[in-house]
Amino acid sequence: MAKRRSAFIYFIKNWAIFLLPLLITTGFLYFMLFWTMYVSFSDWRGTAPNYKFVGLKWYRLMFSMDRFWTDFKNNIKWLLIGVLPTLFAALLIAYLLELSGSKKWEAYVRTLILYPSAMSFVVTGTIWSWMYQPDRGVINTIFDIMGLHMLRGRFITNPETATYWLILIFIWQFLGLAVIIFQSSFRSSELQSIIESALVDGASRMRILFQIIVPNIRGGILILASLLLISALKVFDIVYIVTFGGPGYSTDVLAFFMFIATFQQHLVSLGAGLSMIIFLMAFVIVVPYTIYAFRRWFA
């Protein structure tokens, strides 16, 4: 009895202050999550709340819509093409900066690729839509100036490729952050000493990168990949600003459809259902990832 009590007191004295904020915040979020889940099973389709239970009505509707499946495919594209190339490019650039050895160039490149993170998609999206405009846009104009007329593209006005050009904006925006995270991961002194000895042994740069560095910065890769995956899955601002889902709805994503359904069509239950789908997709990705991270942390 006394033992349990003192364990409790121990807990309060030591852990309560750490646990409480986390519990409260997480509690709130889950409360809101369940609220959304409930709404997705209700019939809220006007401006006034409607909590009548209708089961899977809206989900069935959703799955029958062509638009939903386009969105789903688009979101998958965002996940794969948004995350992997960013990781890869950032890794190479960070490594090159390490190899360069010049503080000056490092600072220059870092500032260069970092500034977009200081800007919101409202701004960068607007500028990139000007870059992509087929008739007078920046990219095509430059091709014209250089005489490379055949390289002119339709970019985001071509429904087949539009999404890829949007993803490029995403990569462009996040590259700076990714490089910084990688660079700071490189700086651990144990890693530095391993690299030193490998260099002495005459290993090539590429080998050092992939066989020594990468395995040792798994923590950094983990954080970065998580951030990128989260942002890619939730993507909304870029689509809203640059294409508004168009042409047609070829660049539509689930989060954007959710926005239109909830706030323009006033079909709040449909929007809630879409949110749940986004969340479920995240869950499918999170679970294996969390298990991996888990082992890493608590192994």
Partner 1 sequence: MRRFLVLLLIGLIMANVWAARELIIFHWWTAGGEREAADAMFEALHEKYPDIKIVENPVAGGGGVSHRVVLQSRLAAGIPPDTWQTLGGAELKSYVDGGYLEPLDELYKELNYWDVIPKPLANAVTIGGHPYSVPLNMHIQNILYYNKKLFEELGLKPPKSFDELISVLKAIKKAKPNMYPLALGTKEKWEAAFVLDSIILEVGGPEYYVKLYKGLIDVKKDPVFREALEKLKELIPYMYPYHASLTWDESCGLLVSGDSAMVIMGTWAIGYFQTRGWNPGVEFGATTFPQVPERILLFHPDTYGLAKNAPHPDACLDWLKVVASPELQIPTDVTQGGLFARLDIDPKNFPDPIRQELQEYVRKHPDKLILDQHGSIAPMSFTQAYWDAIAAFLVESNIEKTINNVATLFTIYNVKEEAAWYQWP
Partner 2 sequence: MIKNRRIQWIFFTVVLILSVIYLLPIYVMLVTSLKTPYEITQRLYLIPSLKPQFSNYVQAFKRIYPSLINSIIIASTVTGLATFFGGLGGYYLSRSRTRFSKVLFILVGITLYLPYQAVLIPLVQIAAKTGMALTHWGMIFSYSILNIPLASVLMGTFFFSIPRELEEAAEADGASKPQIFFRIVSPLSLPGYASTAILIFTQVWNEFLLALCLSTPETTTVQVKLAEIKGSFVALYNIQMAAALIGVIVPLLLFLLLGRYFIRGILAGALKG
Tell me which residues touch partner 1 (CB under 8 A). 45-49, 61, 66-67, 129, 132-135, 154, 156-157, 159, 162, 243-250, 259-260, 262-267
Among 1, 2, 5, 21, binds partner 2 (CB under 8 A): 21
Question: Is 283 near partner 2 (CB under 8 A)?
Answer: yes
Among 78, 165, 182, 259, binds partner 2 (CB under 8 A): 259
Please give the residues from 64 up to 83 whose contact with partner 2 meets the rule CB under 8 A. none
Name residue 225's amino acid.
A
Q: Which residues, listed in sequence order, are joined to residue 53 by a DSSP beta bridge?
A: 42
For the bound state, the minimum distance from the C-beta of residue 281 to partner 1, rounded and expressed in Å, comes to: 22
Angstrom distance (rounded) from CA 93 to CA 179: 7
| Cα–Cα separations (whole angstroms), residue 246 to 23, 76, 104, 232, 243 | 41, 18, 43, 18, 5
For the bound state, the minimum distance from the C-beta of residue 228 to partner 1, rounded and expressed in Å, comes to: 26
Angstrom distance (rounded) from CA 139 to CA 158: 15
Contacts of 95 by beta carbon, 8 Å cutoff, 6+ apart: 182, 186, 205, 209, 213
Q: Which partner, partner 2, partner 1, none, binds residue 53 by CB below 5 to 8 Å per kind? A: none
For the bound state, the minimum distance from the C-beta of residue 205 to partner 2, rounded and expressed in Å, comes to: 7
Question: Is 244 near partner 2 (CB under 8 A)?
Answer: no
For the bound state, the minimum distance from the C-beta of residue 263 to partner 1, rounded and expressed in Å, comes to: 4
On whether the CB atoms of residues 126 and 150 are closer than 8 A, the answer is: no
Angstrom distance (rounded) from CA 269 to CA 232: 24
Extended strands (E) in the chain: none
Q: Which partner, partner 1, partner 2, none, binds residue 285 by CB below 5 to 8 Å per kind? A: partner 2
Of 14 and 211, CB closest to partner 2: 14
